[in-house]
Amino acid sequence: MFRDDLDLLPTYIPGAVDENAVKLSSNESAHPPLPEVVTAMQDAAACANRYPDMSVSKLRQVLADHLGYSPEQVLVGNGSTTVCQQLAQVTCQPGDEVIFPWRSFEAYPIFALMVGARPVPVPLDADHRVDLPAMAAAVTDKTKLVFVCNPNNPTGTTVTTEEFAAFMDQIPANVLVALDEAYFEYNRAADSPVSTEVMKKYPNVIGVRTFSKAYGLAGARVGYAFGDKDIIAAIARTSTPFNVNAIAQAGAIASIQSQRSLQSRIAETIVERDRLVAELADFGVPHSEANLVWIPRENLLAACLGTPQEVTKNLAAEGVLVRAFDEGIRITATTAQETDAFLRAWAAVTAV
């Protein structure tokens, strides 16, 4: 009844949830959607008896104006996760290869395996950054898709414009490169590639962004891709009918139109991120340009704090949830109050 390789698909593990704890285990906003966004979504909910706009035409136009593109160059999906899955569906067949950094977004290998392609993880460099030269070296004649997460999740590190250009100069024109910018709004690096700029020279680059992080719409599920209109048209062929609900569309439109309010929230998150980086400097955290901070496994062990899983368990006992990976722990930056709670828990755990 089922595919022979179904057991090979890894299970995506979401961040832990405990209503009595401070949740810093998922890279989401601690704030609810902006008031004007909530109003727009409530108005849309009153018409939930009707199907949503299947072509997402109004949101695509708003995004096109925001990006400086045409609507034909924009595709909207049920979260950027679904959009990334579509990239694999439109490029890969069984036996093809998908390259991505590791550790990075844990759904990348799932996308490859879902279409029968071979996932090719490329380890991060010694500074916990995406190793673009190693990724370029991993390209073969079977490579169809490459994911570059910038800033990278879960490390928050970025690549430079020069590094990305050198990387792209080695990538064949028939290989699609997805520049995953889920954390774009938090990135303040003076030198970092921006998809809307690099794709002017490299038409095989597709930008991918989301409303789940800075915009505070993680529960609404809206993501989007943009780039060459022929590539976007091909990706659109894999979209399921009505895959972006009307409430989500309304919320996303109102969010784009509320940039001033949004920027104040982003600024708050950046302050707390930088505060966490400074407070955890003794534990070797890399510089972050996302809404998260990363403590590598080796640094936890060197400080005699235990494995990432042990540290996460100890923090949970202090009322704070963070995310454990085999390679380290990830702490989401949110508000001053939640940063205070984490630092209190961290002091208790490290004092043992």
- Are the C-beta atoms of 77 and 244 separated by less than 8 Å? yes
- pLDDT surpassing 70 at residue 242: yes
Q: Which residue has the tokens 């285990």?
A: 25
- pLDDT surpassing 90 at residue 291: yes
Residue 339 sits in which domain range? Answer: 16-31+259-351
Count of C-beta atoms within a 10 Å radius of residue 11 = 6
Mean per-residue pLDDT, 242-270: 95
- Judge if 228 and 333 occupy the same domain: no
Give the pLDDT band (50/70/90) at residue 14. Answer: confident
- Are the C-beta atoms of 283 and 343 separated by less than 8 Å? no
Instruction: Quote the number of domains for the chain.
Output: 2
Q: How many residues does the chain have?
A: 352
Residue 57 falls inside a structural domain: yes
Cα gap 291→28, rounded to integer Å: 8
- pLDDT surpassing 70 at residue 122: yes
Residue 289 falls inside a structural domain: yes
**Considering 236, 256, 276, which residue would you say is the last residue of a domain?**
256
- pLDDT surpassing 80 at residue 87: yes
pLDDT value for 182: 98
* 3-class secondary-structure state, position 291: coil
Name the average pLDDT for the chain. Answer: 96
pLDDT value for 315: 98
pLDDT value for 19: 82
pLDDT value for 9: 78
- pLDDT surpassing 90 at residue 202: yes
> What would the pLDDT profile of 154-194 be if each residue is shown by its tens digit?
999 999 999 999 999 999 999 999 999 999 999 999 999 99
Residue 8 falls inside a structural domain: no
Mean per-residue pLDDT, 337-350: 98
**Where does residue 243 rank: exposed (0-12), middle (13-18), buried (19+ CB within 10 A)?**
middle
Q: Where are the alpha helices (DSSP H) in the chain?
A: 35-45, 57-67, 80-91, 108-114, 132-137, 161-168, 195-198, 229-236, 246-256, 259-279, 297-302, 308-317, 336-351
Any bridge partners for residue 120, and if so which?
99
- Judge if 180 and 157 occupy the same domain: yes
pLDDT value for 267: 96
- Judge if 286 and 182 occupy the same domain: no
The amino acid sitting at 224 is Y
pLDDT value for 352: 67
Any bridge partners for residue 123, and if so which?
102
pLDDT value for 1: 79
* 3-class secondary-structure state, position 206: strand
> What would the pLDDT profile of 305-333 be if each residue is shown by its tens digit?
999 999 999 999 999 999 999 999 999 99
- Judge if 169 and 221 occupy the same domain: yes
DSSP state of 332: E
Mean per-residue pLDDT, 344-348: 98
pLDDT value for 7: 80
**Where does residue 351 rank: exposed (0-12), middle (13-18), buried (19+ CB within 10 A)?**
exposed
- pLDDT surpassing 70 at residue 53: yes
